[in-house]
Amino acid sequence: MQFKEIIGQDYVKQHLLQTVAENRVSHAQLFLSPAGSGAVPLAIAYAQYINCQERTAEDSCGECASCRKYERLIHPDLHFSYPFFASKDVKIATDVLEEWRNMVLENPYFDLDIWRSKLSADNKQANINIAEAHDIIKKLSYKAFEADTKVLIMWLPEYLDREGNALLKIIEEPPAKTLFILIAQNQEQILSTILSRTQIVKIPKLADEVVKQYLVAKANLSDHQAEEYSFLADGNLIEANALLADEVNNNAGYFSEWLRMAYSNRVPDMMAFTETAASWGRENQKNYIKYGINFLRECGLIISGAAALVKLPPQHLEVAKKLSAVLNMPMIEALINELEKAHYHIERNANPKILFLDVSLQLVKIIKFKTLPKGTQYIYT
């Protein structure tokens, strides 16, 4: 992966090049970025550049032995760590390394849902476990095979639980010529003990114009259509590619119908929906809840008179406008609060049938009977 292959992010590229030119490469760096902004390809290109044998001021050569191995992600001194779904056959990240390499080589712009689709996840939740932390320590304790600098790229360190404290010593005092690059999306979910030991590199979301140019070049879209897609993608190249592939799910249909059930107090239908939602698996349930939270926030923009800022496809926008006619801001806040609590409990293995039935009844209270949680933040007018 070379810097010239990465879409946009010119300022970040220049910063990374400068750290090498001035010999001030921090041994532990945290690439903090929204999804789909290019943090993974930037990390790989940065590592390749550092170990390139014939690098220029602007990029790695792409031709030396080190670059050729980096291009296929098979360099012996390039290591990856990432969330995975542990089982009797999968105990550490290298057990699914081939799947990881294939995914990154196919398209380095991906998220946890795409990664999950490449694995046998069942109803398990992804994490980076203690066995993986010990494997990282073991791998980095070895001398480098070929490169001047050993590199570990950890994707989504948010999925390190307390086990991540096992890595503190090696992050703070690593073996000579060792580089840690952590790629995160949510700074608040990272262990503070790890966060304090890293230098943060902030990677912004891609500009709409950059995404538009990418869509025109890749799919030969008209300027108008590319502009519409880039607006909806909001700087996320994963979303842009999904729009190109017309990859849609029925979260919008299920969620709008869920709210209609609540408004009509159709409890038997809600109980049937609970059975359906319970069969989805936890990651899909979390995605559904996240969609609902985002959808309600867009409804809030409509109610607040800021419809021009809403980023919903036309068919979803019509549903949002109709629902906004029967909702108000205190109700939106109360609904979002219930969904955020549901997401929290799903992550902690709550029984899905009980959880979705409970949330359904809370929706009825809020939408049908306008009974809001006590507190001045939910004063109903």
Q: How far apart are CA 363 and CA 370, in angstroms?
A: 9
Please give the share of the chain, as a percent, with pLDDT higher than 90: 57
Does residue 221 sit in helix, strand or coil? coil
What does DSSP say about strands 178-184 and 78-81: parallel, antiparallel, or unpaired?
A: unpaired
Q: In this predicted structure, what is the pLDDT of residue 246?
A: 56
Please give the share of the chain, as a percent, with pLDDT higher than 70: 96
- Contact of 125 with 158, CB cutoff 8 Å: no
Q: Average the pLDDT over each of 8-17, 208-217, 247-256, 299-308 and give the range with the smallest value.
A: 247-256
Under the banding of pLDDT at 50, 70 and 90, the label for residue 376 is very low
pLDDT at 243 over 50: yes
Q: In this predicted structure, what is the pLDDT of residue 71?
A: 94
Q: In this predicted structure, what is the pLDDT of residue 68?
A: 96
Question: Tokens in use for 23?
Answer: 């010999």
Q: In the predicted model, what is the mean pLDDT of the chain?
A: 88
Q: In this predicted structure, what is the pLDDT of residue 250?
A: 75
C-alpha dihedral (159, 180, 155, 128), degrees to nearest 10: -30
Smallest Cα–Cα separation from 259: which of 291, 306, 228? 291
Q: In this predicted structure, what is the pLDDT of residue 381?
A: 43
**Which amino acid makes up residue 195?**
L
pLDDT at 235 over 50: yes
Q: In this predicted structure, what is the pLDDT of residue 228?
A: 73
User: What value does the mean pLDDT take over residues 157-180?
Assistant: 86
Q: How far apart are CA 194 and CA 80, in angstroms?
A: 17
Under the banding of pLDDT at 50, 70 and 90, the label for residue 379 is very low
Q: In this predicted structure, what is the pLDDT of residue 18?
A: 95
Q: How many CB atoms lie within 10 A of CB 31?
A: 25
Most confident of 80-84, 119-123, 144-148: 80-84
Pick the residue with more confidence: 25 or 313? Answer: 25
User: What value does the mean pLDDT take over residues 259-272?
Assistant: 93
Question: Tokens in use for 292?
Answer: 């609902």
Q: In this predicted structure, what is the pLDDT of residue 73?
A: 95
Under the banding of pLDDT at 50, 70 and 90, the label for residue 371 is confident
pLDDT at 380 over 70: no
Read off the pTM.
0.74
User: What value does the mean pLDDT take over residues 232-247?
Assistant: 78
Q: How far apart are CA 141 and CA 335, in angstroms?
A: 50
pLDDT at 62 over 70: yes
Q: How far apart are CA 343 and CA 348, in angstroms?
A: 9
Q: What is the pLDDT of residues 175-199, one digit of tens each?
A: 888 999 999 999 988 888 888 999 9
Q: How far apart are CA 280 and CA 122, in angstroms?
A: 10
Helical segments of 77-167, H only: 97-106, 112-117, 130-141
Q: How far apart are CA 134 and CA 119, in angstroms?
A: 23
Under the banding of pLDDT at 50, 70 and 90, the label for residue 47 is very high
Under the banding of pLDDT at 50, 70 and 90, the label for residue 249 is low
pLDDT at 52 over 50: yes
User: What value does the mean pLDDT take over residues 255-266?
Assistant: 92
